[in-house]
Chains A and B, each alone.
Chain A
Amino acid sequence: AQSVTQLDSQVPVFEEAPVELRCNYSSSVSVYLFWYVQYPNQGLQLLLKYLSGSTLVKGINGFEAEFNKSQTSFHLRKPSVHISDTAEYFCAVSEDGGGNKLTFGTGTQLKVEL
């Protein structure tokens, strides 16, 4: 069975500061990893995904994530955040390359302050 751990439930950060949202996963097989963002009362939007190849993945809105197999991590980073990045961020894992049957972490609330 697969699982995802997001240790930080909330991350406050000042505008223009860098941020890292942590994600660790466990799985007995190869995995496919995703980061989604959810704005209040909205569905999820895909930020980026790791399927194979380069371990550094770049996504939308200036976000990037690095897949680290030895540490079973897929941390999300952004060098300079904006007020509009305030949202809930979910890390997800799938053992199915088709992106089916996603298992989500508990989410991290990113709050960007002036």
Chain B
Amino acid sequence: GAVVSQHPSWVICKSGTSVKIECRSLDFQATTMFWYRQFPKQSLMLMATSNEGSKATYEQGVEKDKFLINHASLTLSTLTVTSAHPEDSSFYICSAPGGQGYYNEQFFGPGTRLTVL
């Protein structure tokens, strides 16, 4: 099946520092990946669409300078939370369309829990 991994699974950082989260498609190629943010007991909110070889597309209200996205290869997208503050603490989840054989289906990573002190 199509597997998506995320690293790290959890991270604690000090306010003002930057944190990078990796999203990898392990056994398939993904020209597109999606980044979501989930607050406790709430739904997933799409933050941005990561496109391999081009700029990410951000949803309305998401600061592109705050949440830097780089889709470096067909299997890797990274989300960097710059100058993190406590309000950035959240659960970040990435996903990718499964590709050939898995049309119409997205596969989700296990998520990264970010805590900013």
Chain A residues with CB under 8 Å of chain B are 32, 36, 41-46, 49, 51, 90, 97-107, 109
A interface, over-half SS = loop
A44 touches B108 (CB 8 A): yes
How many residue pairs between the two chains, A and B, have CB atoms under 8 Å in the bound complex?
A: 63
Contact B111 A41 (CB under 8 A): yes
In the complex the two chains form, what is the Cα distance from A110 to B106 in whole Å? 23
> CB of B42 within 8 A of chain A?
yes
Which residue from B4, B6, B93, B103 sits with its C-beta under 8 Å from A99? B103
Instruction: Please list 5 pairs of residues, one from A and one from B, whose beta carbons are closer than 8 Å in the complex, sorted by A's number.
Output: A42-B110, A49-B104, A51-B104, A104-B45, A107-B42
A43 touches B103 (CB 8 A): no
> Which residues of chain A have C-beta atoms less than 8 A from B103's C-beta?
97-99
Q: Compute how far the CA of A104 lies from the CA of B106 in the bound complex, rounded to whole angstroms.
A: 13
Complex formed: what's the CA distance from A43 to B108 in Å? Answer: 6
Taken together as a complex, chains A and B put the C-alpha atoms of A74 and B42 apart, in Å, by 20
The contact of A43 among B49, B93, B97, by CB within 8 Å, is B93
B54 adjacent to chain A (CB < 8 Å):
no
**In the complex, what distance in Å separates the CA atom of A53 from the CA atom of B110?**
31
Residues of B within 8 A of A106 (CB): 42-43
Contact: A97 with B111, CB < 8 Å?
A: no
The 7 A-B pairs of least Cβ separation, nearest first, read: A43-B108, A44-B108, A43-B110, A99-B104, A104-B43, A106-B43, A104-B44
